[in-house]
Chain A
Amino acid sequence: MVGAGVVGAACAYYAARSGLVVAVVDSGPVAGGTTGAGEGNLLVSDKVPGPELDLALLSAALWRELAQVLPHAIEFEQKGGLVVAASPESLATLTATASGQLAAGVRATSVAADELGSLEPHLAPGLAGGFLYPQDAQVQPALAAAHLVRAARDAGASLHPGQAVTAVLTGPTGAVRGVRTGAGDLLAPVVVNATGVRGGELAALAGVELPVLPRRGFVLVTEPLPRLIRHKVYAAEYVADVSSASAALQTSPVVEGTQAGPVLIGASRERVGFDRTLSVPVVSRLATAAAALFPVLADARVLRTYHGFRPYLPDHLPAIGPDRRVPGLFHACGHEGAGIGLAPATAVLVTAAIRGEEPALDPEPFRPDRFDAASRTGHGS
């Protein structure tokens, strides 16, 4: 298992518990990649009907199970999401989205304009209405990944931190034999690429292409405040931002309070490579949008901001499952802004594929080699 982010951690957990012998190797520590910069929203509300929503629904159920077995320290909380619309037009779009989601198995209830205040007393006045999504939940991503790895180790997995994979070893037939790290070779008939935003680089080590790109996101964290915000609250425009293919900046944020007191505001989305400098325009627009939703936040002080790089694939779907080009190579990466939410379902699919078992849902849309020119023509899309 290459990568000890939340996806690699979940894969290690389900694979080890299924009886496979697992070694987790990471160039850094556990949760040192994008997982450490993620916010931990486990959302079904922001996904339109389709393969990603199916994966999210499966994951939501798995996270509820995991919350029963992993320590409370992972901070699982099913607080629910509240999506609000500012205008009648955007409410109409939101209503249409919600009815599609309902048909796909999502739970959602319509909230009239005059009921918003009882759910969120500090919301800006004058909103047109919204929808409440009780399945939306939350974990602390780094702790979730760390406790998944720990539980995987309890089930027999080994952890090899601080060891970068520099080569994928293959045998005479072209099948995977293991990986080379700074500390030596790790031999295994199966290698899982859970390297997140580095997924394309690891694929290249195995001689195949996987077009994972970084999509930067900033998050703002305020000073500790009394409990002002009860749900995950965001504007209906967020759904459009999430699924946008544009490289340009999108900044409609999810706003939520935390148990420790700070309010989290995030995150922006833009494709600017691995640029690590602070972008004032980006954080400024997040702040503007947050204050538009909750005017009470205007006086709050922002203590810090941080950023991370989402592993982005051009069609916004992760790469999950065997790579038909290299026998023994499996992928579990490219989850963009939903990798924390989608980690358990991804892990269940990968484990089933390795074991040759029936998958929990149709894995075809997540086929890792779907971006190949040849494979694309084959499917005529």
Chain B
Amino acid sequence: MPASSAEQPAARPERTELAVVGAGPAGLAAAVTAADGGLDVVLLDAADAPGGQYYRAPAPGLGATRPEALHHGWAEFAALVARLGRHRTAGRIRHLTGHHVWAVERSGADWTLHAVTGPDGRDGATTLDARRLLIATGSVERQLPFPGWTLPGVVGAAGAQAMLKSGLVLPGRRIVVAGSGPLLQAVAVSLARAGARVPALVEASGYGAYGRAPLVLAGNPGRLAEGARHGAALARHRIRPLTHRAVTAVHGTDRVEGVTVSRLDREWRPLPGTGRRIDCDVLAVGHGLVPQLDLAVGIGCATRCGADGSAALELDDGLRTTVPGVWAAGETGGIGGVRLALTEGELAARSVIADARGGPGTARAAALCRSRRRMRAFAELMGAVHRPGPGWTDWTAADTEVCRCEEVTTGAIRTAVAELGAGDSRTVKLLTRAGMGWCQGRTCGFAVRELAGCAADAGAPDRRPLACPVPLSVLARADRPEDA
């Protein structure tokens, strides 16, 4: 183990009043609001720069002059970063970049956070205590398997967007964007703007379903405007959305040469004979996002099953989790987008301040609470519209890999369920190894759960007591931080 670098904080400093995990839009808004309110804050994030999954500045040296071209609300982000800078200078926020928190545990009335540093967790380790904890760990992309999805040239849609933002690189020249969810539109537009041909945007649901909740739409004019903006941009780039369709096969031997797009029935079952080939060199595919709940679940925060079929934290109006002393904001409470994340970050921090300092609720907090409710209603609608229909499992063939890390196929999972008595995702995992590999089921978790087909298990959170890999030597010293 290399020794910790000089500027690294002491192993167990005095406890802070608030630890915020995640410096995406939610965590960033929370940290600066809390510091504005006089709290002393530590902000930790695994990444090297603030911004999370949405705001990604291109790496320095790429010569990018206008990162804002790829982001809406860049000015708002820049303002948050400026406030963060001032609080850092004033010593009110300790900002620990490159710190991956691998576990949180209760110690008396406080929370102890354990983090590793460095790209593979081998550079060092930090342990710190905080009186209160705010979890803003965001989300990861949701994938559904289909024949050929492991071929080189198939990339995550959100991942492609992230790559474009941070590296300004295109994954290919002719890119089919597919899956489900509003993010796909943003991805298709960004790729086209950056110079790619996007021959098709394949959406498994339809957008018409939004129309069934006119009140929710009326409460979210911003989202309507955004939809219209995307629609216009898609038209400008001559990208035709193909709704109620899915990629059901990928062609190519060493890498992607094309895809077959089939029509789906209302349950997302492919209609035989409707397959149509589209040539491309990259397929960017994703089925929305899944909240990243490892730390929250690890300390016992209750979850609910969101309308999108994934687990999200159960939160009250003050964004308190069910565990006293723990708040959450942003995608951890359900996928809802960057505006909701910013709103919740600020609201959660105000709720923490009220808890720490007392005092009556402010008009600002009440207003934030109202916008949050409106946006949450939209988020639930979005989740329901794009929730994978039960027929998606028909896309897979018996030999389609579901868990890529351990090379577990649909057929193996079906055998475990039908013949070996597996009844939920845990027993499927035990009997097939699905989800036991490097990513610990972060990619295949949703799909395995659906294939296991256990009603009681649907929308339950995955349990990962370690939020990331931890060197054994770090674990060995975690109990005795004074020698860390």
Which residue numbers of A lie inside 8 Å of B, CB to CB?
4, 28-32, 36, 142-143, 146-147, 149-150, 159, 161-162, 220, 222-223, 260, 276-281, 283-288, 290-291, 297-307
Smallest beta-carbon distance B287→chain A, Å = 25
Please, which residues of chain B bring their CB within 8 A of the CB of A149?
Answer: 420-421
A75 to B125 CA separation, bound complex (whole angstroms): 37
Residue of B nearest to A146 (CB): B420
Residue of B nearest to A278 (CB): B465
Smallest beta-carbon distance A123→chain B, Å = 16
Please, which residues of chain A bring their CB within 8 A of the CB of B433?
Answer: 260
- Contact in complex: B121, A301 (CB < 8 Å): yes
Please count how many residues in chain B sit with their CB below 8 Å of the partner chain's CB atoms.
43
Residue in A30, A284, A306 whose beta carbon sits within 8 Å of that of B477 in the complex: A284
Residue in A4, A29, A304 whose beta carbon sits within 8 Å of that of B466 in the complex: A304
- B139: Cβ under 8 A from any A Cβ: no
Identify the interface centre among B114, B433, B471, B480: most chain A CB within 10 Å of its CB: B471
**Known A-B contacts A220-B475, A298-B471, A301-B471; A146 and B421 likewise in contact (beta carbons under 8 Å):** yes
* Chain B interface mostly: loop
Query: Interface code B50-89, partner A: CB below 8 Å = 1, 0 otherwise?
Result: 0000000000000000000000000000000000000000
Query: Interface code B451-480, partner A: CB below 8 Å = 1, 0 otherwise?
Result: 000100000000111100111110111111
- B411: Cβ under 8 A from any A Cβ: no
A283 to B431 CA separation, bound complex (whole angstroms): 25
- Contact in complex: B420, A147 (CB < 8 Å): yes
**Known A-B contacts A291-B473, A299-B473; A304 and B421 likewise in contact (beta carbons under 8 Å):** no
Residue in B106, B298, B426, B464 whose beta carbon sits within 8 Å of that of A36 in the complex: B426
Q: Nearest 3 pairs between A and B by C-beta?
A: A29-B423, A30-B421, A284-B479
Please, which residues of chain A bring their CB within 8 A of the CB of B436?
Answer: 304
Kindly list 17 other residue pairs between chains A and B, CB separation below 8 angstroms, not including A299-B1, A306-B463: A31-B431, A32-B426, A161-B421, A220-B475, A222-B472, A280-B112, A280-B114, A283-B475, A283-B478, A284-B475, A284-B476, A297-B472, A299-B472, A301-B472, A302-B475, A303-B438, A304-B466
- B482: Cβ under 8 A from any A Cβ: no
A302 to B438 CA separation, bound complex (whole angstroms): 10
**Known A-B contacts A278-B465, A298-B471; A162 and B426 likewise in contact (beta carbons under 8 Å):** no
Can you report 8 residue pairs joining A to B where beta carbons are below 8 Å apart?
A: A31-B431, A32-B427, A283-B478, A284-B479, A287-B476, A288-B479, A302-B472, A305-B465
A87 to B120 CA separation, bound complex (whole angstroms): 36
Please, which residues of chain B bring their CB within 8 A of the CB of A4?
Answer: 421
- Contact in complex: A223, B469 (CB < 8 Å): yes
Residue in B431, B454, B469 whose beta carbon sits within 8 Å of that of A302 in the complex: B469
- Contact in complex: B440, A287 (CB < 8 Å): no
A300 to B465 CA separation, bound complex (whole angstroms): 18
- Contact in complex: A30, B472 (CB < 8 Å): no
Identify the interface centre among A220, A276, A287, A298: most chain B CB within 10 Å of its CB: A287
Smallest beta-carbon distance A160→chain B, Å = 10
- Contact in complex: B476, A36 (CB < 8 Å): no
A4 to B431 CA separation, bound complex (whole angstroms): 14
Residue of B nearest to A283 (CB): B475
**Known A-B contacts A302-B466, A303-B438, A304-B440; A31 and B427 likewise in contact (beta carbons under 8 Å):** yes
Residue in A159, A222, A288, A301 whose beta carbon sits within 8 Å of that of B421 in the complex: A159
- B300: Cβ under 8 A from any A Cβ: yes
- Contact in complex: A290, B472 (CB < 8 Å): yes
**Known A-B contacts A29-B423, A30-B422, A161-B423; A301 and B469 likewise in contact (beta carbons under 8 Å):** yes
Please, which residues of chain B bring their CB within 8 A of the CB of A288?
Answer: 476, 479
Please, which residues of chain B bring their CB within 8 A of the CB of A301?
Answer: 120-122, 469-472
A41 to B148 CA separation, bound complex (whole angstroms): 39
- Contact in complex: B479, A29 (CB < 8 Å): no
Please, which residues of chain A bring their CB within 8 A of the CB of B480?
Answer: 284
Please, which residues of chain A bring their CB within 8 A of the CB of B478?
Answer: 280, 283-284, 287
Please, which residues of chain B bring their CB within 8 A of the CB of A222?
Answer: 472
Please, which residues of chain B bring their CB within 8 A of the CB of A306?
Answer: 463, 465
Residue of B nearest to A221 (CB): B436
Residue in B440, B463, B477 whose beta carbon sits within 8 Å of that of A303 in the complex: B440
A143 to B476 CA separation, bound complex (whole angstroms): 31
A29 to B436 CA separation, bound complex (whole angstroms): 19
- Contact in complex: A277, B300 (CB < 8 Å): yes
